[in-house]
Amino acid sequence: MQFGFLIAAGLSLGLLAGGMARAQSDDTLRRMTLRQDTAGWEAIGYLDLAGKGFCTGALVASDIVLTAAHCLMDSRTGKRVDPTAVKFMAGWRDGEAIATRQGRAAVIHARYAPDSGTMIERVRHDVALLHLAEPISVAQAAPLSPEGGVSPGDSVTVISYAKGRAKAPSMQRRCRVLERRSGVMAMSCDAYFGSSGAPVLSLRGGRVRVVGVMSMIAQTAQGRLSFGMDVERPLRELLAALRSGRGVFPETTAPAAKRVNLDGGARSSGAKFLRPE
């Protein structure tokens, strides 16, 4: 079963200003093989989509995982994936996880429409929350905190799983925001099948903050680029929906999500994609 990933050859985005090319100073991907490599990053994990695909997700509260909306939709049927069949494995590495939890319910951004609108509109709302059946303790995995606002030229970090590297996370310590417009970021970050939902991180001032979520890659005149949304506003909207039960599925479950402080969480350390059959 296919979930999400889109690579659009020859897509004309009209997004990049001045013909800006891929940043030449990007770091290469590095596999996080050792336990010490993943220490401090346990909140980022592998999302098993009922054994039919996978994405990347990140804890923003002890029982709430942030990911891409298309990860929770079956691209073949257009139906939402049963969140109770989704499994989040925090800090998944070579067959072991810091903690594993089943989903209880989920909410997809109300304005996410994968088959309509412009590419920018789809990416801007390609965000969802998975509410876990049981929380993961902060001692095991401290949630990440969201923060709005990065600018073209800013350095960001991405940690993700993907095809060919699904057994352990990989980190790209430094890639670049090439352009930002209408709540969407074009980035030079290396992303591939399974990277959907990966948090785009800012490490400015030694503080780790989630500034975006990986949504898709596209082939442009500037080369292959990755795209994600500014996450702070849509996350606030999703949390409000989760607390109220609006749009939460399955409908028989209306979880009351705990309040999340978006201005500073418990942690201060530190595409659209598919999984082939």
List the chain domain ranges: 7-244
Mean pLDDT within 128-139: 97
Average pLDDT for the chain: 84
The mean per-residue pLDDT over the stretch 127-132 comes to: 98
pLDDT at res. 83: 97
Lowest mean pLDDT among 83-87, 145-149, 211-215, 246-250: 145-149
Homologous superfamily, domain 7-244: Trypsin-like serine proteases (2.40.10.10)
Place of tokens 């109770």: 84
Q: What is residue 195's predicted lDDT score, i.e. its pLDDT? A: 92
Evaluate whether 218 touches 186 at the Cβ level (below 8 Å). no
What's the CA gap between 101 and 47, in Å, rounded?
Answer: 10
Looking at residue 258, its pLDDT comes to 52
Kindly tell me if the per-residue pLDDT of 238 is higher than 70: yes
Q: Are 5 and 273 in contact (CB under 8 A)?
A: yes
Question: What does the pLDDT average to over 88-117?
Answer: 94
Which has more pLDDT, 129 or 13?
A: 129
The mean pLDDT of 51-66, rounded to a whole number, is: 95
Question: What is the predicted pLDDT for the residue at 276?
Answer: 33
Q: How confident is the model at residue 119 (pLDDT cuts 50, 70, 90)?
A: confident
- pLDDT at site 247: 94
Spell out the SS3 assignment of the chain.
CCCCCCEECCCCCCCCHHHCCCCCCCCCCEECCCHHHHCCCCCEEEEEECCCCEEEEEEEECCEEEECHHHHECCCCCCECCHHHEEEEECCECCECCEEEEEEEEEECCCCCCCCCCHHHHHHCCCEEEEECCCCCCCCCCCCEECCCCCCCCEEEEEECCCCCCCCCEEEEEEEEEEEECCEEEECCCCCCCCCCCEEEECHHHCCEEEEEEEEEEEECCEEEEEEEECHHHHHHHHHHHHHCCCCECCCCCCCCCCCCCCCCCCCCCCCCCCCC
Single-letter amino acid code for the residue at 217: I
Asked whether residue 256 carries a pLDDT value surpassing 60, the answer given is no
Tell me what pLDDT residue 24 has: 59
Closest residue by Cα to residue 62 from 144, 146, 122: 144
Per-residue pLDDT, 19: 38
Where residue 253 falls among pLDDT bands split at 50, 70, 90?
A: low
Q: What angle do CA 112, 115, 118 make, to 5 degrees?
A: 75
Tens-digit pLDDT profile for residues 26-58: 999 999 999 899 999 999 999 999 888 999 999
* C-alpha 249, offset from chain centre: 19
Please determine, for residue 255, whether its predicted confidence score (pLDDT) is greater than 70: no
